[in-house]
Amino acid sequence: MTVGAMIAIVASFAPWVQSGAVSRSSYDLLGYVHLLRISRNAHVRVLIRLWPLMPLSVIAAVIAAWWGWRYVAAALGLLGGLYAGVLSAAVALAIHDRYRISVTGAPTWTAIGSGAVIVGSLIVLVIRVPSADANSR
């Protein structure tokens, strides 16, 4: 889960699209959603605007897993992982060459990292690891 969160977060700051000599990260794309026609649905646009909360969600999931809060870690990890995976895949698939914009590998890496977060969340939920405090008693 930790490695997946790191991959997803680092890839979200990497350049996602290039147009000429200009590279833009996922956070730079927030203002261009309407121009790229990624979504015509108002609810999806709201989710896209909340993209800066994705790193917070996966970091909180990792910290909750470290502290042994299984259900909180699983919920936040699944939420953040699904959010990052779906949005990065949508951007990678929605932007075409007709806009003279090329998609880099960063959305794919974000999706891979989010997949690892999802798998880690499920592992944390299913497998109970005894905490260090329980062994010291």
State the alpha helices, DSSP H only, in the chain: 2-13, 33-36, 42-49, 54-66, 70-94, 106-126, 132-135
How much is the average pLDDT of 52-67?
93
How much is the average pLDDT of 7-12?
94
Per-residue pLDDT tens digits for 16-51: 888 778 888 888 877 776 666 666 667 667 777 888
Q: What is the rounded distance in angstroms from the CA atom of residue 88 to the CA atom of residue 66?
A: 26
Give the percent of the chain with pLDDT over 90.
Answer: 43
Per-residue pLDDT tens digits for 63-82: 999 998 999 999 999 999 99
Q: Which long-range contacts (CB under 8 A, 24 or more apart) does 134-137 make?
A: none
The amino acid present at 57, given as its one-letter code, is S
Strand partners, 22: 19
Contact predicate 136/86, CB 8 Å: no
Nearest residue to 67 (alpha-carbon basis) of 118, 137, 21, 2: 2
